[in-house]
Chains A and B, each alone.
Chain A
Amino acid sequence: MTPTTAPVRAPTYRSRFATAVFDVLNPVPYGLFVGTLIFDILYAITRNVFWGKGAAWLVTTGLLFAIIPRVINLCHVWIPSRYPVTSLERLDFWLNLFGIVAAIVNAFVHSRDAYAMVPLNVVLSTITVALLSIAQIVHALDKFALREVPREQVQ
């Protein structure tokens, strides 16, 4: 038999189900946090409480939607398996973690009455959106990363 020179195609994730759930839910908090930032800026400018209250719901809902994809990502990145994890995936994990921590603090900041949330709400929303945006880019780059493909025949 002639040895093949083509790259070996192999799955890099352990669960189709978890991967699908992750891909469905993961964009939701990102979008909601971007909405939070927009509302926060509008509240800071207009001083109309509608925007501040809207932002409070957006950041809280974003956090609720983030729970499941973050748990899936945590397991994917840190529970050892025969599927290798790239360093970019680890970076993506940390960026998301810090983005979520900023959003959690931000949810508390949004519980303040009226303009007491400004300007910290804008600062924290910007941090969350920036970290999650970088994470998206890292995620994109990771698609081109070389993987150590498991070679079961060697074992």
Chain B
Amino acid sequence: MNRSSKHNTHAWVSVVALALAAALGGCNDHAKYDAAHQAGANPPLPDARNFFTPPMQVPKYVGWRNGEAPKVANGLKVEKIASGLVHPRQVYALPNGDVLVAESNSPNEEPVTTPKQLIAGLIEGRSGKKAKGANRITLLRKRGDGSGEWDRFVFIDHLHSPFGMQLVGDTLYVADTDAILKFPYQTGETHISARGVELTDLPDTINHHWTKSLLASPDGKKLYVGVGSNSNVGENGLDVEYRRANVLEVDIATGGSRIYAAGIRNPTGLQWEPKTGQLWAVANERDEIGADLVPDYLTSVKEGAFYGWPYSYYGQHVDRRAQPQRPDLVAKAIPPDYAIGSHVAPLGLLFYTGNNLPAQYRGGAFIGEHGSWDRSPLSGYVVAYVPFENGKPAGAPQPVVTGFVSDDQKQIYGAPVGLAQGQDGALLIADDVGNAVWRVTKAGD
């Protein structure tokens, strides 16, 4: 090889290296909006983008060290009422003041069907969000001695990725990932040894989104079940989405069920809005078309309505990734009521009706935001409060409980998930990364 051809070689190598860097580096996608900018009925929606590598930013798990706690807004205080739990995902307050905690995570039944799943699973595991759950419900009871300590009991064991819990009369309904189970409950008991009786089965193939949220109707005749989709946007085929991305209505007397509302990608929190009695949900929208797409939302769930997934978002914004397309369904799709920011991952919803917290937190909704993994900077990782007026959101989500990630966004201590209101009006927060349950009350209480 003579000198000039050697020279050429170097030039070629640089060109190739540059082209490769440009192709792969072109996927850098820094968010333009934060949650407050993308809140409201008409959030700004940038154009959808495609990426060469899915943008990922995952803080490293460190957990809460001794004495550390999330930060709360002025006028509030926070205490830890349980620690060392195994992936506490949902909390539920019983009428006698006891608190149930579902220690649970994905059943990990999703097969690896693409090379991407192998790699993404490893990266997401860094945050502690993929840790195994205990598949049990734990009962927490405040000691009567005024010490402020809480005792812990194993309430129901050997469950299968439980999430939703609802007490109707003397029957406790538990939504495992694959079925709704009935347990007899007597006030004050700290352990149920009876085996659950199946009320009805739930969609349980793949379980990409595994949580089954649960809400009983005020008259105790129906259960509403939030069933998440089996994919981000239909990439596992549309046949596995049968009865997925839906809110199902289950008749308690017969176990029969029907689709109450459809096209909600992952409706994780279901609650009754106290003023209007309307069903509301928080939902996780789709990923991988931009740091600012698609905003997660808080919405009333209208009977028979279709909210777009997977064919469109926010009404008629068509997502061409879902094929074959369904213009007939897109035409029917209605937008959700209220965006709360992109990729904040709302997993818990609570309309606050108590009178412990200051007046500014009454009547609106608390949202447990588990936090983003595919966005830079991070979003979520807070418990936010959305004020309501006349049964409608009346202002952007305000962070109320924060400090779950370090200021530099490199480390994660915890992540809020399910929310509940204690019988004393305290706000209870399940923290499935910090393995704790937090209790927020007014300062000086």
> When chains A and B are docked, how far (Å) is the Cα of A20 from the Cα of B176?
57
Query: Closest CB-CB distance, B121 to chain A, in whole Å?
Result: 13
Which of A97, A105, A114, A115 is within 8 Å of B23, CB to CB? A105
CB A117 to nearest CB in B, in angstroms, measures: 8
B236: chain A residues at CB < 8 Å are: 49
Among listed B46-54, B84-92, B154-162, B381-389, interface-contacting one: B46-54
Q: A13 within 8 Å of B by Cβ?
A: no
Q: Is A60 an interface residue (CB 8 A)?
A: yes
Is A56 within 8 A of B323, CB to CB? no
Q: Which of A94, A101, A111 has the most CB of B within 10 A?
A: A111
CA distance A109 to B1 in the complex (A): 37
The CB with the most chain B CB atoms within 10 A, among A48, A56, A107, A115, is that of A115
> Which of A80, A94, A104, A112 is in CB contact (< 8 Å) with B288?
A112
Q: Given contacts A101-B20, A105-B23, A105-B52, is CB(A115)–CB(B323) below 8 Å?
A: yes
A114 lies within 8 A of B20 (CB)? no
Pick the residue among B20, B24, B114, B323 that contacts A53 (CB under 8 A).
Answer: B114
Interface code A44-55, partner B: CB below 8 Å = 1, 0 otherwise?
000111101100
Number of interface residues of B (CB under 8 A): 32
Find out whether the CB atom of B114 lies under 8 angstroms from the CB atom of A56: yes
Q: Which residues of A contact B231 (CB under 8 A)?
A: 113-114
Q: Which chain A positions have C-beta within 8 A of B52?
A: 105, 108-109
Contact A111 B53 (CB under 8 A): yes
Do the beta carbons of B321 and A47 come within 8 Å of each other?
A: no
A116-B50 CB under 8 A given contacts A101-B16, A105-B23: yes
Partner of A114, one of B51, B54, B323: B323
List the B side residues contacting A97 at CB < 8 Å: 16
Contact indicator B116/A56 (Cβ below 8 Å): yes
If A97-B16, A101-B20 touch, does A60 touch B115 (CB 8 Å cutoff)?
Answer: yes
Residues of B within 8 A of A144 (CB): none
The dominant DSSP class at the A interface is helix
Q: A78 interface residue, CB < 8 Å from B?
A: yes
Q: Does B320 contact A (CB under 8 A)?
A: yes
**A51 vs chain B, min Cβ distance (A):** 11
Contact A49 B235 (CB under 8 A): yes
Task: Please name all residues of chain B whose beta carbon is closer than 8 Å to the beta carbon of A109 when the two chains form the complex.
Answer: 52
Residue of B nearest to A60 (CB): B115
* Pairwise interchain contact A107-B323, C-beta atoms closer than 8 A: no
Within 8 A of A (CB), among B103-127: 113-116
Which residues from chain A contact B288 at a C-beta distance below 8 Å? 112-113, 116
Residues of B within 8 A of A48 (CB): 237
Contact B324 A113 (CB under 8 A): no
By a CB distance below 8 angstroms, the chain A residues around B1 are 78, 80
Q: Which residues of B contact A52 (CB under 8 A)?
A: 235
Q: How far does the alpha carbon of A98 sit from the alpha carbon of B19 in the complex, in Å?
A: 11
Chain B positions 6 through 48: 1 when the CB is less than 8 Å from some CB of chain A, otherwise 0: 0001001000100110011000000000000000000000000
A99 to chain B, nearest CB (A): 12
User: At the interface, yes or no: B232 with Cβ under 8 Å from chain A?
Assistant: yes
A116 lies within 8 A of B321 (CB)? yes
Q: Which residues of the other chain, B, contact A110 by a CB distance below 8 angstroms?
A: 114-116
- Does A107 lie within 8 Å of B115, measured CB to CB? yes
Q: Are B237 and A50 in contact, with the CB atoms below 8 A?
A: yes
Q: What's the Cα separation between A48 and B238 when bound, in Å?
A: 9
Cα distance A56–B116 when bound, in Å?
9
User: Chain B nearest CB: distance from A67 CB in Å?
Assistant: 15
CA distance A98 to B20 in the complex (A): 11
Shortest beta-carbon distance from A74 to chain B in Å: 11
Q: Are B19 and A101 in contact (CB under 8 A)?
A: yes
Say whether A47 contacts B324, CB under 8 Å.
yes
B234 interface hit (Cβ, 8 Å): yes
Query: Of B20, B51, B232, B322, which one neighbours A115 at CB under 8 angstroms?
Result: B322
The answer for the CA separation of A50 and B240 in the assembled complex, in Å, is 13
Give per-residue flags for A109-129: 1 if the beta carbon is below 8 A from chain B beta carbons, else 0: 111111110001000000000
Query: Does the CB pair A57–B9 fall under 8 Å?
Result: no
Interface flags, A61-97, vs B, CB<8A=1, else 0: 0000000000000000010100000000000001001
Given the interface contacts A53-B114, A108-B24, A111-B53, does A94 sit within 8 Å of B12 by beta carbon?
yes
Q: A113 and B235: CB pair below 8 A?
A: yes
Instruction: Give A residues with C-beta under 8 Å from B.
Output: 47-50, 52-53, 56-57, 60, 78, 80, 94, 97-98, 101, 104-105, 107-116, 120
- B interface list, Cβ under 8 A from A: 1, 9, 12, 16, 19-20, 23-24, 50-54, 113-116, 231-237, 287-289, 320-324
> Can you list 16 A-B contacts with CB-CB less than 8 angstroms, sorted by A residue number?
A47-B324, A48-B237, A57-B114, A101-B19, A101-B20, A104-B20, A105-B52, A110-B115, A112-B321, A113-B231, A114-B231, A114-B235, A114-B322, A114-B323, A116-B50, A116-B320
